[in-house]
Amino acid sequence: MAQPCIGIDFGTTNSSAAAAEADDVRVLELDAANDNPTSLPSLLYITAEGQAVAGREAADTYIARNVGREVELKQVDLGLDIEGYVGGEPDKSEGYRPPGDPSAAVREAVRAKATVEVNSPGRLFQSLKSSLRLKGFKGTDVFGRHYQIEELTALLLRAIKERIDAHTGADVETAVFGRPVRFSERPEEDALAERRLETAAELAGFKNVVFFYEPVAACVEYAIAMDRRQRLMVVDIGGGTCDVCVMEFGGAAGAAERLAESRILGVAGVPVAGDAIDREILRAKLFPYFGSRSRYGPSKLPMPQYVYAALADWQNLYKLNTEEIMNWLIASEMSSDQPETIRRLRTLIRKNYGYPLARKVEQAKKTLSFEERARIELEEEGLDLHVELERPEFAHIIEHTLDEMRHSIEEAEKAAEMRPEDIDLVLTTGGTSLIPAVRKMLEDRYGSERLLQRDTFVSVASGLAVVAQYM
């Protein structure tokens, strides 16, 4: 049976896939449990028994099983269980090591002692795509089994592949994968991320993987239908990256010719998007509710930064749940000038409310795309959190993030040797492009009549499928 032409957009927050056949591009349903079934939330839950759950079900399972329950952490001395060395040289090897490879037994020195959750039913992973570029993050232990970052990513990609296979009735081995213009601003990190994604795709069963820029894919469908030559800019702002691409497209006789004759004139990108905006909201609006501005002890000391760094990254918040830190929090609460905030912080950590909080923040941000104000509320016992955020304040909070995005846009123009007035049309896509302050930044530069919003969540996957067809 002929293999269908498949495009896969493995996103930081959402993943989607499409199949192209003749003139038809079909976006595939990847997650029946999700509000939008053509998007699979890029979430992975691994149970203590080693079972992997992907998508909306991963989030639901985590909330049902892990949230509201007290985590018990234990420091275990891995001592002699470690193969290789204990506390010696850090592991400088790079890349995925297949199980069985003797060098795969070499572990990082930190494993000599590990903090493990003794009673946890499972772990949730979010934004794995953003970790692909981090050289220092090779993987993590999940209930005694070490998962390399490639394996974690492969678990998600395998779930995607199973659903693609089911829809197409084929064992799909060839696919065009999207990639951001820049996984990272550092070339070596960028190359590492692509290599890891390729390995993950292979582990998931894809034998032939081709990468294609996500923002270029986002404009393919529009551009191949165009009978006159145009200079397009695509701005794709998702969960992890802001990607900008200036292209020259269209005018030739048929779709294949238009694609073949297209030219990329300039690209730019930064790993700053929706996740970074969520963190800004947390920092500005919620940290104070958890004592970031409080003082404790006779010398009126400020609270240590590491606590709030962990709060900004809920996936690691559980690590604060040690007896030592909990006792210290109880002590600092007694001498705090804002004891109620420290108590709240302790409840948040102890009861594992980091993820529900992150979800509320994200939801409030989305609400602000359609309404003037939003509330962030968590009524769980001991938290009682009610925070209001209005659009102007939100725009102010994310000013710095917007500057970084604007900078990328200017950089892409510069690379293409163009001024804003030389660009015929600016196509926007990705969830973060819906934020009014982001739209205003683009309108100020190009005028609203030159902005065209493409399908927010599936334009990249559809374009990749079209590309697969002509490759």
Ligand X SMILES: Nc1ncnc2c1ncn2[C@@H]1O[C@H](COP(=O)(O)OP(=O)(O)OP(=O)(O)O)[C@@H](O)[C@H]1O
List of residues contacting ligand X (CB under 6 A): 11-14, 129, 214, 238-241, 273-275, 362, 365-366, 369, 430-432, 434-435, 457
Least distance (Å) from ligand X to the CB of residue 11?
A: 2
Residue 44 contact, options Mg ion, ligand X, none, Cβ 5-8 Å cut-off depending on partner type: none
Residue 129 contact, options ligand X, Mg ion, none, Cβ 5-8 Å cut-off depending on partner type: ligand X
Least distance (Å) from ligand X to the CB of residue 56?
A: 14
Residue 271 contact, options ligand X, Mg ion, none, Cβ 5-8 Å cut-off depending on partner type: none
Least distance (Å) from ligand X to the CB of residue 42?
A: 6
Is 142:155 a contact under the CB 8 Å cutoff? no
Site residues for Mg ion, 425-454, by CB under 5 A, read none
Would you state the structure tokens that stand for residue 359, as one six-digit string? 């979800």
Would you state the structure tokens that stand for residue 309, as one six-digit string? 């760094």
Least distance (Å) from Mg ion to the CB of residue 129?
A: 9
Nearer to ligand X, 235 or 303 (CB): 235
Which of these segments, 56-64, 236-244, 291-299, 334-342, binds Mg ion (CB under 5 A)? 236-244
Least distance (Å) from ligand X to the CB of residue 342?
A: 29
Least distance (Å) from Mg ion to the CB of residue 108?
A: 31
SS3 content of the chain, % helix, strand, coil (to 5): 45, 25, 35
Tell how strand 208-213 and strand 174-179 pair up: parallel
Q: What is the chain's alpha carbon radius of gyration, rounded to the nearest angstrom?
A: 23
Q: How far, in Å, CA of 439 to CA of 422, rounded?
A: 19
Residue 280 contact, options Mg ion, ligand X, none, Cβ 5-8 Å cut-off depending on partner type: none
Least distance (Å) from ligand X to the CB of residue 39?
A: 7
Least distance (Å) from ligand X to the CB of residue 239?
A: 4
Residue 241 contact, options Mg ion, ligand X, none, Cβ 5-8 Å cut-off depending on partner type: ligand X
Is 316:310 a contact under the CB 8 Å cutoff? yes
Nearer to ligand X, 13 or 199 (CB): 13
Interaxial angle between packed helices 339-350 and 354-367, expressed in degrees from 0 to 180 and rounded to the nearest 10:
110
Q: Is 252 strand, coil or helix?
A: coil
Nearer to ligand X, 35 or 421 (CB): 35
Least distance (Å) from Mg ion to the CB of residue 238?
A: 3
304 secondary structure, DSSP code: P
Does residue 238 touch Mg ion according to CB under 5 A?
yes
Sign of the C-alpha dihedral, residues 20, 21, 27, 30? negative
Does residue 122 touch Mg ion according to CB under 5 A?
no
Does residue 215 touch Mg ion according to CB under 5 A?
no
Would you state the structure tokens that stand for residue 68, as one six-digit string? 């509201």
Site residues for Mg ion, 9-28, by CB under 5 A, read 11
Interaxial angle between packed helices 187-203 and 149-168, expressed in degrees from 0 to 180 and rounded to the nearest 10:
50
Sign of the C-alpha dihedral, residues 244, 248, 253, 258? negative
Residue 348-387 contact track with Mg ion, rule CB under 5 A, x = bound:
----------------------------------------
214 contact partners, CB below 8 Å, separation of at least 6: 9, 178, 179, 180, 181, 236, 243, 460
Determine the Cα angle at 284 with ends 282 and 285, to 5°.
Answer: 70
Residue 133's CB: how many other CB atoms inside 10 A? 24
Nearer to Mg ion, 7 or 356 (CB): 7
In our burial notation (b when 16+ CB lie closer than 10 A, e otherwise), range 1-36 reads eeebbbbbbbbbbbbbbbbbeeeebbbbbbbeebeb
Three-class SS of 418-447: CCHHHCCEEEEECHHHHCHHHHHHHHHHHC
Residue 343 contact, options ligand X, Mg ion, none, Cβ 5-8 Å cut-off depending on partner type: none
Nearer to ligand X, 71 or 374 (CB): 374
Helix (H) or strand (E) holding 463: helix 459-470
Least distance (Å) from Mg ion to the CB of residue 245?
A: 13
State phi, psi for 247 to the nearest 5 degrees: -130, 155
Nearer to ligand X, 296 or 457 (CB): 457
Nearer to ligand X, 120 or 153 (CB): 153
Nearer to ligand X, 126 or 341 (CB): 126
Nearer to ligand X, 7 or 431 (CB): 431
Nearer to ligand X, 108 or 185 (CB): 185
Would you state the structure tokens that stand for residue 237, as one six-digit string? 């702002």
Q: Which residues bind Mg ion (CB under 5 A)?
A: 11, 238
